[in-house]
Amino acid sequence: MLKLGVLASGRGSNFQAIIDSIESGYLDAEVAVLITDNPDAYAIKRAEKHGIPHLVMLPKEHPSKDAYYEAIAQELKKREVELVILAGFMRVVKKPLIDAYPMRIMNIHPALLPSFPGLHGQRQAVEYGVKVSGCTVHFVDEGVDTGPIIIQAAVPVYDDDTEESLSERILRQEHRIFPYAIKLFAEGRLSVEGRVVRIEGHKKEDFFFTNPPLE
């Protein structure tokens, strides 16, 4: 059983999708700990509801950003976490945590990377006028949304879309592909060659997840 450590800053809807996937038997994993930088994060209530331990770790309580991420890495290691999940963690992860978990930190981003990295990917897509957007699960490196891409899902962008309406459409796909990416990792089906993530035994039915039908 794969041990997960989840980092979240807000409502934690992707965290909930992962919990649901575990409880349904879809994912052979357990969340060993939720770590948040926000004592008011709704993700904490989700953790409490499902009996998941949580920690509030504030950057201001550490002498530097590196010290903060070193402390997070120590907490994860203490709980024998094997894969770190960024589920709406609104900070750029620094080198001490990346070095502790190389190609074992996953993030989800609400755009089809490498387009529209950083904050407000949905707003960027609407303002740019693209006709297709989506979401991306990727491994984390030292850049901002620059790590190797694991899986993506596409959604249409309509002429009357707002940031909010597009965000809702993308979020539904986030809740599908994030658990799937974790499942691939848990099954030992992912390997990284340079920038390319290879998926062993990738079947047509798997491909459905990477390119779901347009709504």
Q: Do domains 1-101 and 107-215 have the same CATH topology?
A: yes
Catalytic residue list contains 109: yes
Superfamily of domain 1-101 in the CATH hierarchy: Formyl transferase, N-terminal domain (3.40.50.170)
Would you kindly state where each structural domain of the chain is located, as residue ranges?
Answer: 1-101, 107-215
The pLDDT tens digits along the chain (215 residues) read: 999 999 999 999 999 999 999 999 999 999 999 999 999 999 999 999 999 999 999 999 999 999 999 999 999 999 999 999 999 999 999 999 999 999 999 999 999 999 999 989 999 999 999 999 999 999 999 999 999 999 999 999 999 999 999 999 999 999 999 999 999 999 999 999 999 999 998 765 555 454 444 33
For residue 108, what are its two tokens? 């989800």
Cα–Cα distance measured from residue 43 to residue 45, given in angstroms and rounded to the nearest whole number? 5
* 107-215: CATH class: alpha beta
Cα–Cα distance measured from residue 24 to residue 144, given in angstroms and rounded to the nearest whole number? 33
63 Cβ contact partners less than 8 Å away, ≥ 6 residues apart: none
* Model pLDDT, residue 6: 98
Cα–Cα distance measured from residue 97 to residue 103, given in angstroms and rounded to the nearest whole number? 11
Nearest 5°: CA angle at 111, between 161 and 197? 155
User: Is residue 145 a contact partner of residue 116, using CB atoms and an 8 Å limit?
Assistant: no
80 Cβ contact partners less than 8 Å away, ≥ 6 residues apart: 3, 32
Active-site residue, from 54, 62, 109, 175: 109
